[in-house]
Copies of this chain bind each other. A is one copy, B any other.
């Protein structure tokens, strides 16, 4: 909105020094979407933005911090995991839903999350960024934390199943506002959805006919 309020409306002016963070974010988004999180270096992003790598660190800190800024992630994955795993692993499913609803219903994080999902539905490059968030910031951490309770090799599949329920919940309850789900009390939604998350996280997954002996 800032440019709307500018007094000098001259167009085509080259970005000055104050635009450096913007240029870095733009370069970071392109790099992360094209090469993935692991395949992207701060040096690459700096080159893309035409600045020194030190300036990238100065403005954004670590690669992980820059990534979360670049996709405007409404979560701090490490802190979120700390919340979810603060109690016994048996409590994880219920805490996952509670934490997720907390993000959805936050005055800042809620619109940000819906914006992220909306953008990822509309643009391939935003979908690529959301996938990177999922794999590198969430699934990878889950393998680390959940790998003692279930087969670590199954964790990414379990995580994508959990996402299928949580993203759909965000979409139906907050974006489409399907009733009565949209206005159901938060505790009721947690009580109903937590067993689904429990199955996806901790219980045996059905296998379908393809694994018949």
Contact = CB atoms under 8 A, between A and B. Distances in A.
Interface in A167-213: 167-169, 171-173, 175-182, 184-196, 199-200, 205-211
Contacts of A185: 208, 210
A86 B194 CA distance: 31
A156 B180 contact: yes
A25 to B, nearest CB: 22
Nearest to A178: B160
A11 interface: no
Contacts of A196: 165, 196, 199
Contacts of A143: none
A63 interface: no
Interface residues of A, number: 55
Nearest to A115: B121
A120 interface: yes
Contacts of A130: 176
A117 interface: yes
A161 B181 contact: yes
A122 interface: yes
B208 A177 contact: no
Given A171-B168, A199-B196, A163 B191 contact: no
A134 interface: yes
Given A118-B122, A121-B171, A171-B168, A208 B180 contact: no
A167 B171 contact: yes
Nearest to A212: B187
A143 to B, nearest CB: 13
